[in-house]
Amino acid sequence: MSAVTRSFASDNTAPVAPEILDAIRHANEGDAVGYGRDAWTASAVRRFREHFGEATDVYFTFNGTGANVVALSCLVHPWEAVLCPASAHLQTDECGAFERFAGSKVIPVVTGDGKLRPQDLEPHLHSGHDEHHPQPRIVSISQSTEYGGLYEPAEIRELCNYAHERGLLVHVDGARIANAAAALNATPRAITAELGVDALSFGGTKNGLMFGEAICFFTPELAAGAAPFARKQGMQLPSKMRYVAAQFEALLSNDLWLRYASHANAMTTRLHERVRAIAGIRVTRSVRCNAIFATMDHAAVARAQSEFFFYTFDDVLPEVRWMTHWATQPEDVDAFADCLEAALTSSRVEAR
């Protein structure tokens, strides 16, 4: 077990990766004009265009909620609505930031596995085209999903086609797009822009950065007039932009994004192999990236949480979530699995 505290709560409990911190240090030379009119930002944007295509427009933001809200708000009028899975971060974990900033409605679509498919959308597209009803305008999905699952590329393509045929746009909340790309053995571009996705919140904070996300518009005319203003009005324009840009420059160089994400996924795979063998743990969702959802008895949850911090997603079952990240070490995983095993053994002893 490593000397440092390790948590299995979220990939945002991780420290900053050493290459990222180095990049920050290297950017810390002399003065730089604020708000993105600096060389680091220009370079990081070029890097994004290498990855996603020359037509990509990039806007860095402070955090993921900011990226989602600013991106979506550029693409809707206040009377237009966003359709998303009922489990979407946008719906469940952003405190209504989008509704407050955009004045628009989010329409949560209940789906069993947190993935949206055309047939899930269909019933929501008939509510009427007149002024009494918010007009569906964007479909927003998370890749990887909030439940640690994945859309296959063909699924995203099908969703994009379905949406575009109906005049809708597709946004991907890619807080964990790197984990998805790593798991699918594909580039980020191959699972977004190339499939028809219109806008992407490209995550940094959960993949080794200190802070920073990047909104990518793959059809720049969609938002070119709006995005700079929406970002500023949305309080997401960093004045010392070079420190966000330098982090992304590093992340997108030398396949760092892939290395961090692959490692995080691998640690989850290791944990999965251990916990599936532990009596009393039932893994409840398909494990594809860096999250495991599982049920175990209340007492065991409490015992394990006294040693390692993690979240209970459903108090009743209870269903818990375990996540790994770029810095999780094999010995951390083993220690955690041991802890879970011990917690469950105690439960069984008590239960006798």
64-103: contacts with a second copy (CB under 8 A): 64-66, 69, 77-79, 81, 92-97, 99-101, 103
Q: Could you tell me how many residues of this chain bind a second copy (CB under 8 A)? A: 78
Selected range binding a second copy among 177-185, 238-246, 273-281, 297-305, rule: CB under 8 A: 238-246
Q: Which is closer to a second copy, CB of 146 or CB of 189?
A: 146
56 binds a second copy (CB under 8 A): no
User: Binding residue for a second copy (CB under 8 A) from 19, 43, 51, 63?
Assistant: 63
Q: What does the alpha-carbon distance between residue 157 and residue 192 come to, in Å, rounded to a whole number?
A: 9
List the interface residues with a second copy, window 118-177 (CB under 8 A). Answer: 126-127, 130-135
The verdict on 309 binding a second copy (CB under 8 A) reads yes
- Find the binder of a second copy among 174, 188, 196, 238 (CB under 8 A): 238
Alpha-carbon gap, residue 62 to 34, rounded angstroms: 15
Min. distance of Cβ 53 from a second copy in angstroms?
Answer: 24
- Return the number of the residue (316 or 349) whose C-beta is nearest a second copy: 316
Among 46, 51, 157, 240, binds a second copy (CB under 8 A): 240
Residues 11-40 that bind a second copy (CB under 8 A): 12-16, 21, 24-25, 28-35
Interface pattern 214-233 for a second copy (x via CB under 8 A): ------------x-xxxxxx
